[in-house]
Structure 1
Amino acid sequence: MESSDASERKWACVAVSNLIQNDPSTRRLLQGKNIVGALITRLTDSEEEVIVEAAGSLRNLCIDGGYDICAEMYNKNILVPWKTFIPKISNTLAQYLESPATAPENAQNLVYDFADNVITTLWCLSETSNKALNAINEIHLVPFLMSFLAAREKIPLAPVTAAGTYLKFVQMNKVAKVLYSAHCLYVLTDDNYPAISDVRADAGYISCLLDIVRSTEGPNGKAKEIPDVRTTTLNVLCSGILRNLSPLPPPSAASFVDIDKDIVLPLLQPSHEPQIKKLSLKNTPKSDHKTTEEKDLERLEATLRTVQLALEILTGACATLPDPENDIPEKSGEDGEDDEGEDDDEGEGEDEMDEADTEMLDDASPTNAASTSFLPTLVEPLLALVHPTSLSFPPLAAPSPHPPTTSALSAIHISALECLNNLFLSLATNPNPSVSADHAAGRKVWDVLWAALAAVGTETTGLGQERRQEIWNIAVGVLWGVGNVWKGSLVPSEEQVKVLIQLCDVTSDEAIQVKCIGTLECLAQHPQSIDGNKLISQYLLSILPSNGTPSPAGTEPLIQALSALIDIYSDEGLPYDVNFRQGRYLARLASSVDEVKKAVRGIDRRKQGGRDLRRRAEEVRDNLVAFIQYRKDLGL
């Protein structure tokens, strides 16, 4: 790289890209030799080809190295030379579009390949830290990015999409895989006001985005017989940008389009398992000539990535719950009995947000019914994306026959479950009577989810099996939501109850324990399932403290178990209440009161989410005392 021969400097930069591809050990070795600094130095080289290749190597380092590499690049001032490239690319693009014949000889290479390297690296850096993002905001990239979108019919679609390609890093068998699935503008407008403001300020930008979303034409203005996956990806990306920008400033034609219902939902496609042969890269060098199976898999992966992106955008649409309100400082001393020795003034006035509120279905605020009216229509297409294929995960004792497809499929299952989680949370919080009354639909959804989980399996340990565990962790939240929407109509299968109990016992994540307990609570309220109710209630009672011994679970699962028992047995006229009386549950609950009060006092308000957990815990504690007195008064 320091050779006096420009050709050697160029090919040295090319070699870096080749050496680091899917090889973390070599990348780390080169990083230890200050490869980042050496490449940044070449960005000011006297030869343009060297600059282009150095930029490409830096881009690939961002992709393969992730956060650490990006942080090193930012700290070594990569943005200084990077800023000089943007106006040069913009000027060349304008000249090329206006008069291709008179454009510089290397115009196409500069506009396409070099722009991709510059913008991809900028996105990666924007994800590194707020400092990097703020520095990139100061560059005001929006006009630069929009210039590519505006010129989409005059240049090949690949650079239009790649001009803002956003990447994600997925660990599969300890090899970082890159998911090309979104546009830089989509990322920069994701909860980033400076970029949002820059787009909103120009009505032409919004009009351009809306034109792309509505377009049924191909990249060159010709009608498409078969939609190109890149065109579809671009449409999805622009719908995501429009969602990020909402509410759109009036007057705007986009305000009349339901982006979620009319644009994103139709793009959801069930995944189909391809018929593939055993692919192997051993013994033969990689060739540019690909087999039919390899080409099919590449097309499939590209389609799956687009579906995943659509799901990510739709997940936001399903999360119609408002943001939790800021905490209101509590007056100290209101509950002197339970705040002994605690300084209630500590942490007062802090503006914390309760991250757990979105998981506490009974505490969330009402939502606008109109905003959730179309949510039930999403259930069936989302369920189609949840059930795994044989390629969705690596085999338990062998690698995947095609890791990119496996990565894409498992990511889609997870995204679909996250979408369903938000959807049922919204439906449970803002009940739709016609949906809740359709018990057959509820049982169908329940059965489909469990069939998918059975295909995932409970073997979640081992190399490459992390995604199986992630699916279970998200799915239990979906089950809780479904249970709340159709509470009392779902029969508690003994096998399913035991799986939920096992998951609750083996996990150390209190949030997952809470979801398991919440799901069990819903199942226990099926009136005729006396045995199922008994199995669940005995497990919930085992979570309670007893005889001066604290709960074997954490405080939050304890609070959820108490709340569940109170709700399950709040109606003494139900058939399963016989378990409460015969099992002497009243005495068991009464014996736990002192330890429960102690556990509530032990909640630290100063910790993140502690203030809201304390408030909820105090409410459940008071309900417990009142419930015990109520049952005593019944004399049953």
Structure 2
Amino acid sequence: MGKSKKRSRASAARLNPLAGRTAANRSLVKKLDPLLSQLSNGTPNEKAMALASISVICEDPTARSELLRQKLVHVVLSQLINDENTDIVVESFGLLRNLSLEEGYDVSTNLWRSGIWSNIVKGFQQLQQSLPKCEEAPLESRRSLFDYADNLLSLVVALANGSDAILAQVLKEDKLQTIFQVIHSFLQYGLDKLPLVLLNTILDLLYDFSSESFEFIEYVMQDQELAAFVQNLDQSSRGNELTKVLVQGISLQFADMDMSYEKADSIIHNVCSSVQHINWQELQVDVEPLNDQEMVNQEPNLVAQKIKDYTSKRSASLMKLQSIEIAVDLLTATTEMVASLYEETQKKLPESLSETLTKFIPPILTNLQPHLTSRILISWNNLLWLYITLGVNFFQLSDELSSNLWQFISSLPQDDQVDIQLGKWSVVWVLLKTIALQQDSNHWLTGFQLQNNVQFVQNVISVYNKWLESNNVELCEKLIGVLSTLASFQGQIEINRIVGQFILEQLVSERTPPLLLVDLTSSLFEIYADASFDYDEPVYVKDGFQSIITSKVVPHLRQTFKLVDRNKDALLKERCTECFNILDSFIHYKQNERE
């Protein structure tokens, strides 16, 4: 099944470098240069104003790219996060958090390699020293302290979301204990005294890391105070939409070893009821970035007010957007847990959960799929595989539902957005598997315009070749699944021939990695498992597949699989060995099958 990606707003590895400077870029540079100059050389007030303006301007991708090109991160790290002005320090960490979220891998890795963790630890120490005296401090000082805490903790989450290597570092025991000590300080201070934004950031950290690591869950459960906090979360009535979905998310992750059908059903309904009132259209308007041209040209006092109003409105909308994103992630995760629970116990689902899965969830996914496409595709993928596991016929739920989903899938562009392409082809694969289970599969193939559709198959092969060049093995696996399922339908001999020849070509290609060789070989076993299939004799026998496998495929696999290092990847080595042994049996079986 599939799991939703992290909430970083950019891919972990950019496919396109930043574009060269155009006339518009040069004009933008002229307008940004004074702000960057003030950031480095201005008075405290000028620095603060420039920092606030840049934080808003960075919401625009073009302006953000230009500011990053102008070494914005270096300026913030070298001059601002250690500034004598507390407000500048607080806002600087907020800006770094936003940049890490927006840019993902590149900025996160840059920050981590520049030693940002030591600055974060220093900030944590300042928080822990200041918190006991917080009650006596003026309101503005308390607000600044809580903003500082929010920016530091959310920066940790953003960094971990930007890079798997950073996540692994953050989840080491020493760093986790540092983070836990800060959370302890807030628990002792009193969570009811914290701003809701900071409470949500603490919950988000617990949810995010628990969704990534069983070890993190174990560390939390070994901490008596944190474990009690997590276990009693449901009893708290305080919070907004984000609080509610995060509480359900934490409940889901920490119940992983003690999941039940009833608990899964409850989580699904609680999550959806928390966000169902949010108006998506209003949300889209409120998160639009400010016009950076206006920001640069207006008077400072007008800019300050505009920033304040914009930030408040946008923060509320982003909170709601994040709530919906997490809600979809939780639907995806809960569906996967139900599948695991069913496979382990073979226990029949209660009627209420069956209705939730077949009547309640599909309309929600349909309504949201144009807006949160990559997330929704993963959720559809998990739900459709669960239907197959449970013996639920998706096509019998509603003709309109299946046709609308296929139309949506077909309308998606073939672009470089990896998450969307991965989700798209995952759903195509499981829909084809669902068609294969129908008594009249030709009816559904015709309805989806896939019956003997050579152009579609050639397009899938073209997409495979493209992503193989990019070394995206996961996406190539999905495409192999699509092709092998298409090739297995009766009455499509030419389709089978094209796919079969493609598989053989890939099995002798030097560019095919071992993992895909295993998948391709397994597809061969599945497609040509029986001489009674209508394509077996005209394709496998008459096109000489047996001879090609014996003379070319076997030597290539033997040599390639031999080079797989058991010490580096024991599981892959085991799969390669098993695959090669089955291939030997398959060859003998096909040799004697028609005798």
TM over 0.5: yes
Q: Which one of 539, 546, 561 corresponds to residue 498 of structure 2?
A: 539
**Which residue matches 2:143?**
109
Specify which structure has the higher proportion of helix.
2
Pairwise CA distance, 1:419: 2.5
Equivalent residue for 2:268, pick from 249, 261, 264: 261
Structure 2 CA distance for partners of 1:280 and 1:245, relative to 1, 3 Å: closer
Alignment of 1:555-574 (within 5 A): 557=516, 559-573=518-532
CA contact 1:74–1:125 (8 Å) conserved in 2: no
Identity of aligned residues (%): 14
Unmatched tracts of structure 2, length 5 or more: 1-35, 59-63, 101-106
Q: Is the 8 A contact 2:335 2:382 kept in 1?
A: yes
Other structure's SS at 2:552 match: helix
Residue type of the alignment partner of 1:205: F
Q: Find the partner of 1:193 among 202, 212, 215.
A: 215
1:503 to 442, 463, 476: 463
Q: Is the 8 A contact 1:126 1:136 kept in 2?
A: no
Amino acid at match of 2:268: K
CA 1:506/1:627 → structure 2, altered by over 3 Å: closer, same or farther? Answer: farther
Return the letter of the residue paired with 1:455. Answer: S
Contact 2:487 2:496 in 1 (8 A): yes
Offset, 1:580: 2.6
2:576 is the counterpart of 1:599: no
Distance in 2, matches of 1:558 and 1:298, equals 48
Q: Could you report, residue by residue, the CA deviation over 1:403-424 in whole angstroms, capped at 9, with x for unpaired residues? A: xxxxxx3xx2111222333344
Instruction: Tell me which residue corresponds to 1:361.
Output: none
2:377 is the counterpart of 1:369 = no
The CA deviation string for residues 210-245 of structure 1, in whole angstroms up to 9 with x for no partner, is 124xx4xx65xxxxxxxxxxx111111122222333
Aligned pairs (5 A) from 1:337-352: none
Residue 457 of structure 1 is matched in structure 2 by 413
When residues 279 and 10 of structure 1 are mapped into structure 2, their CA distance, relative to the original with a 3 A threshold, is: closer
Query: Which amino acid in structure 2 is aligned with residue 581 of structure 1?
Result: E
Amino acid across the alignment from 1:448: N
Matched residues in 1 for 2:317 and 2:156: separation?
28
Task: Give distance in 2, aligned partners of 1:315 and 1:517.
Answer: 23
* Deviation, structure 1 residue 451: 0.9
Alignment match, 1:62? 97
CA contact (8 A) 1:312 1:415 kept: yes
Task: Give the length in aligned residue pairs.
Answer: 501
Cα 1:89/1:208, change in 2 over 3 Å: farther
The equivalent position to 1:209 in structure 2, one of 223, 233, 241, is 233
Structure 1 segment 30-49 matched on structure 2, within 5 A: 30=71, 35-42=76-83, 45=84
Letter aligned with residue 597 of structure 1:
V
* Alignment CA distance shift 1:24-1:141 (3 Å): farther
- Residue 158 of structure 1: CA displacement? 3.3
Deviation by residue 1:472-522 (Cα, 9 ceiling, x = unmatched): 222212232343355342443144545434433443144433322322333
- Higher RCO (CA 8 Å, separation ≥ 6 residues): 2
C-alpha displacement at 1:379, in angstroms? Answer: 6.0
Q: Deviations over 1:154-211 (max 9, x none)?
A: 55533432x43xxxxxxxxxxxxxxxxx722323434163575345623541344112
2:250 is equivalent to residue 241 of structure 1: yes
Partner in structure 1 of residue 485 of structure 2: 522
Q: Deviations over 1:34-92 (max 9, x none)?
A: 541333433xx4xxxx1232122133123215314531553683145313222234324
Q: Is the 8 A contact 2:381 2:430 kept in 1?
A: yes
Are residues 197 and 552 of structure 1, via their aligned partners in 2, closer, same or farther at CA, if it must alter by over 3 Å? closer
Q: What is the 5 A alignment of 1:159-558?
A: 159-161=198-200, 163-164=201-202, 183-189=204-210, 190-191=212-213, 193=215, 196-198=218-220, 201-202=224-225, 204-212=228-236, 215=237, 219=239, 231-246=240-255, 260-267=267-274, 272-273=280-281, 281=291, 284-285=294-295, 302-320=319-337, 366-370=343-347, 374=353, 377-378=356-357, 383-384=362-363, 409=371, 412-426=372-386, 428=388, 431-433=389-391, 435-436=392-393, 439-441=395-397, 446-458=402-414, 460=415, 466-467=416-417, 470-489=419-438, 490=441, 491-492=444-445, 493-494=450-451, 495=453, 496-508=456-468, 509-527=472-490, 530=491, 533-545=492-504, 557=516
For 1:585, give the aligned amino acid.
Answer: V
Verify: 1:8 aligned to 2:30, yes or no: no
CA separation of 1:17 and 1:626: change in aligned 2, threshold 3 A: farther
* Alpha-carbon distance between aligned partners in 1 of 2:191 and 2:584, rounded to the nearest angstrom: 62
Q: In the superposition, relative to structure 1, how do residues 626 and 427 fare at CA in structure 2: closer, same or farther (>3 Å)?
A: farther
Greater Cα offset, 295-304 or 578-587: 295-304
Q: What is the Cα-based RMSD across aligned positions, in Å? A: 4.7
TM-score normalized with structure 1 length: 0.65
1:12: Cα distance to partner?
2.5
The answer (yes or no) to whether the contact 2:242–2:323 under 8 Å persists in 1 is yes
Corresponding residue SS for 2:43: helix
Deviations 1:75-115 (A, max 9, x none): 6831453132222343245xx3xxxxx55454532443233
Gaps of 5+ in 1: 97-101, 165-181, 220-230, 324-364, 393-408, 461-465
Structure 1 residue 382: Cα displacement: 5.6
